[in-house]
Every structure is written in structure tokens, then in C-alpha cells.
Chain A
Amino acid sequence: MERCFHTYRYPLCEVLPSLDELARHLHMEGDVEHPAYHYMQQRLAELAASTLETIGGYVLGRVERMDTAAGIVTVEGYDFRVGVQVCGYLKEAEEAALFLCTAGALFSDEAHALNEQGEFLEAYIIDTIGSMTVEHAMDRIHRALAEEQAGRGLKITNRYSPGYCNWPLVDQRALFAFVGENPTGIVLSNSCLMHPIKSVSGIIGIGTKARRRAYGCVICQNKTCIYRKIVAREQGEM
């Protein structure tokens, strides 16, 4: 399969959280007198008016081997040690999309600077906007992939990321090696962390029998996991 990066760019105004969504996330619905509320309103408007955009996408590859006992998925010669749990969710996949997406450095740089100035609340808000923005952008890419594959009569799975569900972070190296050259500008640190910080990476399975399912939140204790929030968001949309 010819490997190329399918790129998706979204202007911030399309993927920023709404004021209501952000306020709900921060447990501040209706608290319009709170200084944070005014800051959220102002900063969201400024960001929406900016020319900044998120950038992300994926590379498709053929699944060559699925070792569900060992929790390893092999995609065109690259082994991904996704763990037994994720491997089980991907087991029907005939192909896989390895994805990257970033909201850029602005959010974490600004949060860092605000923290340094003692503006903890504003730092927390901008950090949260960044996290929500990159996940919204990735939601759009996920949907675009689903539509594209539906045209081929194929379905897709949920998305899974190194660092979550027992998929070791060190596998970021294999993921970035597989993806190869791409326009996102995301780089890996020695400890396999992505820069810009507001970036996501991972795998989505594709196949005739692939399907989306509830994330394994019932057995996981991580209350702040982004995938738990995706589930909540999707349930809210239904």
C-alpha cells in the first residue's frame, strides 16, 4: 500500500470549544460573574478571529499480523505493542490508520507564561482550551476517515493512543517512524513526549467487521482520561 500522509487543516474557529462547552467542562455553567468566565469569552473570541489552524492526518497501512495474546499489531513491518486490551478492540482490522494531530504550540506556551506570572486560572483555561481543540480537530479527522472508508465499504474502530490503555509511550517511536514525513511539525522528546504538547497520536483500525465500541472506562480508574471524555461527549450527542 502506498504510504502517504492524508492532511486535514481546520481553522481554529471550527474546532475551538464553545463557551458553553468550556464552561461546562470547568463546572462553571451560568457563573457569568466569575472572572474566568469573562476571560474564557474574550480568549475564545480572540482565538476564533485568529488565522491559526490545527493540522493533522493519518497514514494508512495494511495490518499484516494481529497477535492478540501478546497485544501486538503489525502494520507493514512495524510492530505496535498496543497491549492485549487495545489489540482485542482492533482484532477485526484489515488496515490501520496511524494518526497525528496538533493544535500548535500557542496553548502550552501561553499557559506556561501565565503560570510563571502567577495567573494560574488563566493558564488553566488556556491549557484546557488547547486540549479540547486538538480533540475536536481529531474528532473531525476521525469522522472524515469514517466517511472515506465507508465509500470503500469499510468501517472503522475507535482511536487509541500510546500512553493509554497500557500501550507504552515508547511506541511513539514506531508510530512516528511509520508515519514518516508529515506537515504537522510534531517532534518527539527523548522520553517520547510530543511537542507541541497539545498534540495527539494513535491508531484507528479499518475493516469490514471493524466497529466502534464503548471505551474500556468501566475497568479503568483514570477519571480524567481524554477517552472517557470522548465517550461522555458522544453519549451527550446521541
Chain B
Amino acid sequence: MNELLQKLFTCVEFGKINAASPYPPQMRGEDGAQELTQQALAAGIAPSQIMDEALIPAMTCVGQKFTEGKVFVPQMLLSAKAMNAALTYIKPYFSSGEVQRKGTFIIGTVFGDLHDIGKNLVCMMVEGAGWEVVDLGVDASAEKFIAALDEHPNAYVGLSALLTTTMTNMKTIIDQVHEKYPETKFIVGGAPVSAEFAAEIGADGYAADPQDDIKILESFLNA
């Protein structure tokens, strides 16, 4: 791998945002994701190559470490921040079409539920994996999901819930969305949700953690 991309990968993996960031201590004084992305672009490396060879694999690595319990939410958020610092320079190429998104993922915490930490983590990781993410926030109704699908009819949908008493609202949303968009695929997740429950309510996938969301989305693409 190109040396710049290798360094960028490391910055995102360990949450080194820019040269001024004192963390991680072993990288103090070195350039961070922000500077390295600028340098990579200036060196003529294609934005898509920066995404495919540095940013996406780095976030995949972080997601995997999170799944394995080797890092926790704060470390993951720091990586997401470094990723975002890099994306600032890549995003213009999304709109120009030079970098293709893999697809669109609409996500929200279901109505009756205000918990958003898990959902926010999924947003960051899925965006980091090269998807466009439409975040409907918390307490999101079926109408809100349908309105988002009106704008992005080919999108996949993610539903999050933290309470046993609100996870049942997932089925209401799936049923109502399917009345208008019968082909829409759903991924559900959240502390009380299980694979059995996901199957029972007609979801197409159950994600135990953000990395699962990415794997399931990839499987939808390859189906």
C-alpha cells in the first residue's frame, strides 16, 4: 500500500485527527488524518483509492476491534472523528460523482424511543464504509421513514430500539413501509433485539453491532 495511505489508515484506526491532536501519544507531533488526506489528494491519489484503501479498511478494522471487545465506544468515536476529518476533503468528490457511494442507508430510532448512541455509532461506521446515510434521528415514525424513502426509493432501512416496549414498534414501521415500498429491505438492531425477533417481524437482517450492519448491507448488494 502507498505509504501515505498506510499512514492515513493508522491515523483513522487510532483516532489521530490532525497534527495538533495530542492523541494517541505515540503519534504526537505527526500529521493526522486531515493533513494526510490533503497530501494524498495533492499527490494525485484518486479520492476513490483513498476511500477504498485507507478510510474504509481503517473503519472496518475499528469496527472489528469493537465487535471483539478490544476497543470501546470512546475509541470508536475518536476514529469516527478522524474519519470525518478526512471525509471533509473527500466529500466534494461524492457530489461530483468521482467517488461512488455504495448505496443509501436510512436509519432511525423507532417512535417511542429516544436512545441514539447505538444508532449514531451505526451511522458513523456505515458512512465510513462508503454508504450515504440518512439519519432520521430518534422517535421516528413510519411516516418519516416513508418520506425518506420517497426521496431515496432504493435505500435500505435500519431500525434501532433500546427498550423491550418500543422494539415492537419496529414491526409497525416495517408493515407500514412495506405497504408503499414492498421491496424495501430492513435491518434491525438494539440491545433487546435478537435474530429470532428480527425474523418474526419480517426484517431482512439483524445487526448485533455496527460491523454487522455493514456486512448485511454488503450482502444485500451482492444478492
Interface residues of A (CB under 8 A from B): 26-28, 33-36, 115, 118-121, 124-125, 127, 162-169, 189, 191-193, 197, 220-225
Contact = CB atoms under 8 A, between A and B. Distances in A.
Central interface residue in B24, B77, B120, by most chain A CB within 10 Å: B77
Interface stretch (B38-46, B90-98, B151-159, B161-169): B161-169
Contacts of B80: 120
B101 interface: no
Contact of A27 (B23, B72, B165, B194): B72
Given A26-B73, A118-B84, A121-B74, A191 B164 contact: no
B84 A225 contact: no
Given A35-B21, A124-B74, A222-B192, 14 more contacts: A26-B74, A27-B73, A33-B22, A33-B23, A33-B24, A118-B81, A119-B81, A120-B80, A120-B81, A168-B165, A169-B163, A191-B139, A220-B164, A222-B191
B191 A121 contact: no
Most buried by A among B21, B25, B192: B192
**Interface of B (DSSP majority class):** loop
Nearest to B88: A118
A234 to B, nearest CB: 21
Interface stretch (B4-12, B29-37, B111-119, B176-184): B111-119
* Top-3 shortest CB links A-B: A27-B72, A121-B77, A120-B77
B191 A225 contact: yes
Contact of A34 (B23, B73, B165, B192): B23
A189 B112 CA distance: 9
B91 to A, nearest CB: 13
A127 B111 CA distance: 20
A129 B72 CA distance: 17
B74 A164 contact: no
A33 B25 contact: yes
Given A166-B165, A167-B165, A189-B139, A124 B191 contact: no
Interface residues of B, number: 29
A221 B77 contact: no
15 contacts: A27-B73, A28-B74, A33-B23, A34-B74, A35-B78, A121-B81, A124-B73, A125-B74, A164-B164, A169-B163, A189-B139, A191-B139, A193-B114, A222-B164, A224-B191
Given A27-B72, A27-B74, A35-B23, A223 B165 contact: no
Given A115-B120, A223-B191, A224-B191, A165 B74 contact: no
A166 B80 CA distance: 35
Contacts of A167: 165
Given A191-B112, A222-B191, A169 B165 contact: yes
B124 interface: yes
A49 B181 CA distance: 53
Contacts of A191: 111-112, 139
Nearest to A122: B77
A224 B112 CA distance: 17
B194 A221 contact: yes
Contacts of A124: 73-74, 77, 117
B200 to A, nearest CB: 14
Given A34-B23, A120-B81, A193-B112, A163 B163 contact: yes
